[in-house]
Structure 1
């Protein structure tokens, strides 16, 4: 009779998988023994496996370059990293090893770009695509970057006033892009994105504010939809509408030569995850080429702004199951030694799904459970709604500690959770370690931040100096 947890996983999913396998009855992640991590650093624990950042960048570059070659596509491909997914220096340092470019979204992003430039991580040739609604400081910082020689900084115009605001502070000529305000899926609470300029207004905006403006050169059209890149009728319909705008604009604006299709590649959120990246990229290139040929215009250079896809699959969090509470005849709550609200805020904010697996005890029998965090908030839990199906874990045994891991958590969680600051119910931020490999492939580990102490929180709250 197959009653072990390993039997459940083997019967339900294709296992092992490239990044997950068992060795000595414990879970390995990219050949890293996770129980060794627990024994060395304790739990709760967060980690970032840096090589996965480069791995995903190179995967995407290969898919795009293969599609470009297959379709004899005359434009170039440029990979941009969307910094808002994770601003940390160790993330940018790893990503920039791969000859990529940067997408920014706020004023302080520009300070990061200037810091990277000072260290020689980027050059004046690096594309800096500046998105977002531009308040005064953001405009000032973009202008400073351009005035100091960042020739490929392209602010993406989000509203009708930004051309004038930028012109006042930028000393010479400059390049811009225009963001299309895409129409949302029917199930959305609103019809049109708050970001960008509506489809029907793009050409009039160009004619009124850019065409006869000798200081401004339009180089890029920016297209992104909230649901990301998906193989469904909605995505293909929006892409074709975008291409119609691009080709119409290209016919009256020779300087326009780039199409930014934004980000939105999904990342693995369960062992059953399937997404045909190669097909999607191949078809996007095919659709762009076909449309441009039909309209008699040159194909654009392609830009993407992958954030979660770049950094998401590098991150993980490990917790210890402290206790089990049987609240009624059917529900067992496994209480973890941290909080979902503070360490994985997307699990409660948007019911985000992550890969969740036990670290040890795979040869024990299993049970159905709910997972609860330490705060007194009723939303501090992780259940079947987030997990896509029921949560099964090795049976609780107070004499046999159980550790569980959440994987592919590397995007947004630290910044949304308020890294280094106050956490709900003053639950401390866990220790965070960086995992890398040296030139010989050997694993190296560095502590990035220690677990917060009470003194840290009391200082923020004004109780201590």
Structure 2
């Protein structure tokens, strides 16, 4: 009995879904005809669907608004975009249409902030939270931003020396935060995060270096769990410990009025993905309010720093299956026209799974295969879909081209892979397009970058004489 690929998906998952549907045997993503993109731009192809960025920002804002109203929570919520997920201008230009704030991680981030201020994308009312371990240039850039009058710049103190380094550069009183060094999940190789200051040391640090310091004002406590915001005993236990520190610090420091709970909302990595966002936000707000009420202190303003959640679900990559190699009785390798190490480095480095679906031929019969990249590295492969423990695709047919898409790839992949640089085995950077809609919902595509050429690569490697 021949079973179509579409039958396999319908038997395994609820399908169609919000962002995926079929038109005959072709896949549509947010009502975008992906085969039309292939026909216009070719493959390999990366794309960014900009409206999804705005959609997710407003989704999170609404989640916190609903939770605060439900719990009668008398403080404000501030959404910050964590730039390290994607620094590209098209991402930040879209994100800052939505009255949000920004979190930085390194010196050059502050240069981006200056560009955004100059262009009017952000203004003096935009919070700039400066996280990360701060080397000299980062300190200098933060100080310059504050000295130039951006009073809502809040450096988050990561270690005991940073406050003195900042005060040596900043010429006026400024606001600061402190990052908690959270204790990691038991499966980690280390017990405590390398970032921030230990739970037990924060109040003593405040008393020693901040309480009598006329040059600074402590406004924020920062808390982040590396495994993200998940409904686990580990997460709730760490949140409770954080609240104990916040309450103890608040009783010593009247100016403390904000709690930054970091990022960590998961993004969809499978057609079987389930996550109750509203429940999680409701419970976080409830626990914060309850702890503060019990201790008779005011509830804090809540800041979040969503990066992957902001941009991850906007991105995708499309490849063509070039050839099939039968390597033994059981294993068939479908070779793509690019490299996973180059274009989806998280799939190689941390075995991250993305949603992978064929773009066309959904009404053909299917087979179990492995996916291989073009490099000569044995690790350049993608071996399983998140919930099937195998990859199934329409059967290879050299006379019927097959295209596949990887979805929700918008966070980290281009920055980790090194956009426009030198890639493993000199596999070129793919063409990248931006997809947007106008006020009438009409779709428009724009070429952001062409595929790298041999000349681009040779210039970087120093083979082309600049004098020629």
* TM-score, with length taken from structure 1: 0.99
- 3-state SS of the aligned residue for 2:129? strand
CA distance in 1, matches of 2:13, 2:30: 18
Match of 1:405 in 2: 405
- 3-state SS of the aligned residue for 2:95? helix
CA distance in 2, matches of 1:188, 1:306: 23
CA distance in 2, matches of 1:225, 1:284: 13
TM-fit CA distance, 1:2: 6.1
CA distance in 1, matches of 2:225, 2:281: 16
- 3-state SS of the aligned residue for 1:191? coil
- 3-state SS of the aligned residue for 2:446? strand
Range with bigger deviation, 377-386 or 73-82: 377-386
CA distance in 2, matches of 1:264, 1:61: 15
Match of 2:305 in 1: 305
CA distance in 1, matches of 2:384, 2:408: 18
The alignment of Structure 1 onto Structure 2 pairs a total of residues equal to 465
- 3-state SS of the aligned residue for 2:282? helix
Which consecutive unaligned segments of at least 5 residues does structure 1 have? none
CA distance in 2, matches of 1:48, 1:208: 48
CA distance in 2, matches of 1:438, 1:110: 31
CA distance in 2, matches of 1:440, 1:390: 41
CA distance in 2, matches of 1:149, 1:452: 41
CA distance in 1, matches of 2:306, 2:2: 42
CA distance in 2, matches of 1:387, 1:333: 20
Match of 2:375 in 1: 375
TM-fit CA distance, 1:24: 2.8
**Once superposed, what is the RMSD of the aligned Cα atoms?**
0.8
2:358 maps to 1:358: yes
Which consecutive unaligned segments of at least 5 residues does structure 2 have? none
CA distance in 1, matches of 2:198, 2:239: 14
Q: Is the alpha carbon distance of 1:293 and 1:2 closer, same or farther for their aligned partners in structure 2, counting shifts above 3 Å?
A: farther
Match of 2:461 in 1: 461
CA distance in 2, matches of 1:349, 1:10: 31
CA distance in 2, matches of 1:261, 1:289: 14
Is contact 1:353-1:388 (8 Å) kept?
A: no
Match of 2:140 in 1: 140
- 3-state SS of the aligned residue for 2:393? strand
**Aligned positions of 1:342-357 closer than 5 A:** 342-357=342-357
**Could you list the per-position Cα deviations for residues 144-199 of structure 1 after superposition, in whole angstroms to 9, with x for gaps in the alignment?**
00111111100000000000000010010000000000000111000000000000
* TM-score, with length taken from structure 2: 0.99
CA distance in 1, matches of 2:158, 2:386: 34
Is contact 2:176-2:217 (8 Å) kept?
A: yes
Is contact 1:354-1:387 (8 Å) kept?
A: no
CA distance in 2, matches of 1:414, 1:59: 25
Q: Is the alpha carbon distance of 1:462 and 1:387 closer, same or farther for their aligned partners in structure 2, counting shifts above 3 Å?
A: farther
CA distance in 2, matches of 1:389, 1:256: 49
Is contact 2:272-2:387 (8 Å) kept?
A: no
TM-fit CA distance, 1:25: 1.5
- 3-state SS of the aligned residue for 1:206? helix
2:218 maps to 1:218: yes
TM-fit CA distance, 1:386: 6.1
- 3-state SS of the aligned residue for 2:284? helix
Match of 2:71 in 1: 71
Match of 2:239 in 1: 239
- 3-state SS of the aligned residue for 1:452? coil
**Could you list the per-position Cα deviations for residues 101-141 of structure 1 after superposition, in whole angstroms to 9, with x for gaps in the alignment?**
00000000000000000000111110000000000000000
Match of 2:172 in 1: 172
- 3-state SS of the aligned residue for 1:272? coil
- 3-state SS of the aligned residue for 1:346? helix
TM-fit CA distance, 1:353: 1.0
